[in-house]
Amino acid sequence: MSDPKPSVDANGGTAQKVVHDRRPLPVIFGCSGTSLTSEERRFFSAADPFGFILFQRNCETPDQVRWLIKELRQTVGRDDAPVLIDQEGGRVVRLQPPYWPKQPAARVFGSMYERDPEWGAEATERYARLVADELLWLGINVNCAPVLDLFIEGASSAIGDRAISAKPGVVAALARLWAETFLAHGILPVIKHMPGHGRIRSDPHLVLPVIDATRAILESEDFIPFELLKDLPIGMNSHAVFTALDPSLPVSLSSTVQEDIIRELIGFDGLLFSDDLAMKALEGEPGDLAKRALGAGADVVLYCTGKLAEMKPIAEALEPMSAEAWGRWEYAKSMVKMPVGSYNPQEDNARLDVLLGGLAYTS
């Protein structure tokens, strides 16, 4: 771990240095607002979570976000503590106008690629580079994208145009370009939602989805993008029951699916996040859910509400991150290449405007 930095007190001064002599807790927490409360500072410093995730409630202006991220990292004394965001494009963006540009959905790039692979690939790369540059400047080092779920007609709009394509090969090709562009420009991508839940017919934020597709269909279609990108450093599982894989438990609580399918069949050996345990797809007390999710195979769990009353029992229930999980994190960091030289986003913005015909990355 890096040397601890002084934490910031409520008045902007420095408080006592944070010193942790063990691996952090295997959990990503959210926070409540645009700056940390004194109680949040004390809690995060004592709990030492692995990292943090930002939502729209946390993102007001660029300078405010940069300061919040510094505050968060100072509480745990790790300059490289992961700070996550969901900046997929389209409906799922946490950085929004007027300070950040409006972004096209992933399906826009998939549709373009299906019409003209060369133009679709160029647009995807330029877009991913622009996103990476913005996130890196803010201090964010992990983006929970790209989505590798398939676009399935008649499925829940919870995925919809977040999916690149209905074709596994197109999803894999563009997601590979997306992810490798992120890595080349300082950002860790997270492929999601393993092992592929584009077929959900209900929103896991509200209710537990059940997928009845046969294993043969899943293996020949839904799993393919994940198999082709299994070498990437971080993945996220899903809150969906696959009746052909484990009819009694969602993926996030199923050791059968995570061990036999994600780890063995798909062959993914990277750091595995749970999807947000606060989603209504799951029922149970937060601390117990976190223990069950880790016991089922996740390396790190996400709990994103930013509510201290819900985070505290998780911190009390968990043991430090395993050596195996910490090793996966160290490997993930080794895959990131920090950009060298200056970058001028104007060229990418202008070209992307042409490629997308007015749907571009513009505010």
**Catalytic amino acids?**
205, 275
**Which residues lie across from 143 on neighbouring strands?**
85, 189
Q: Note the residue count of the chain.
A: 363
**Cα angle, residue 209 at apex, residues 309 and 149 outer, rounded to 5°:** 100
- For residues 165 and 219, the answer to whether their CB atoms sit within 8 Å is no
Is residue 186 within 8 Å of 128, Cβ to Cβ? no
Using a 10 angstrom Cβ sphere, with 0-12 exposed, 13-18 middle and 19 or more buried, the burial of residue 303 is buried
C-alpha 335: how far from its chain's center? Answer: 16
What's the CA gap between 216 and 226, in Å, rounded?
16
Secondary structure tally for the chain: helices H, strands E: 12, 13
Are the C-beta atoms of 360 and 349 separated by less than 8 Å?
yes
* Residue 284: C-alpha distances to residues 210, 289, 300, 314 (Å): 18, 6, 18, 12
Query: What would the DSSP string read from start to end of 82-145?
Result: -EEE---BTTB-SS-TTTS-B---HHHHHHHHHH-HHHHHHHHHHHHHHHHHHHHHHT--EE--
Report the distance separating Cα 162 and Cα 238, nearest Å: 15
Helices (H), 234-298: 255, 286-296
